Amino acid sequence: MLKKMGLLTAGLMIVLLVTLACNSKSPSELSYTAPFEIGVTAGDFLPGTELQYMGVADGMAEVYIKGQRALKQKADSLSWEGEVREGVLLELDLRVLWFDESTLHVGGTAKVVIKGASVQTATLPEAAALTFGNAPVAYTVKKGAPIPGTLLIYEGRTDEGARFGGTDDYPYRKGGDSVVWTGAIKDDVWLDLDLRVGVYTEQSLTVAGLASVWIEP
pLDDT in tens, 48-58: 999 999 999 99
Instruction: Give the model confidence (pLDDT) of 37-80 as tens digits.
Output: 999 999 999 999 999 999 999 999 999 999 999 999 999 999 99
The letter for the amino acid at 23 is: N
pLDDT over 80 at 124, yes or no = yes
- Rounded Cα distance, 52 and 80, in Å: 11
Cβ atoms of 33 and 109 closer than 8 Å: yes
pLDDT at 26: 54
Which segments within the chain are labelled E, that is strand? Answer: 29-41, 51-57, 60-65, 68-72, 77-85, 88-99, 103-115, 120-121, 130-142, 153-158, 161-165, 172-173, 178-186, 189-200, 204-215
Q: What angle do CA 207, 138, 47 make, to 5 degrees?
A: 125
For residue 10, the model assigns a pLDDT of 43
Rounded to two decimals, the pTM is 0.85
Mean pLDDT of the chain: 90
Task: Compute CA distances 114 → 2, 49, 76, 166, 187, whole Å.
Answer: 39, 16, 28, 22, 11
What confidence tier does 27 reach under pLDDT thresholds 50, 70, 90?
Answer: low
Overall average pLDDT of the 15-26 stretch: 43
Number of C-alpha atoms within 13 angstroms, CB side, residue 209? 19
**In this structure, are residues 205 and 197 in contact, taking their beta carbons and an 8 Å threshold?**
yes
Q: How far apart are CA 25 and CA 22, in angstroms?
A: 9
140-158: average pLDDT: 98
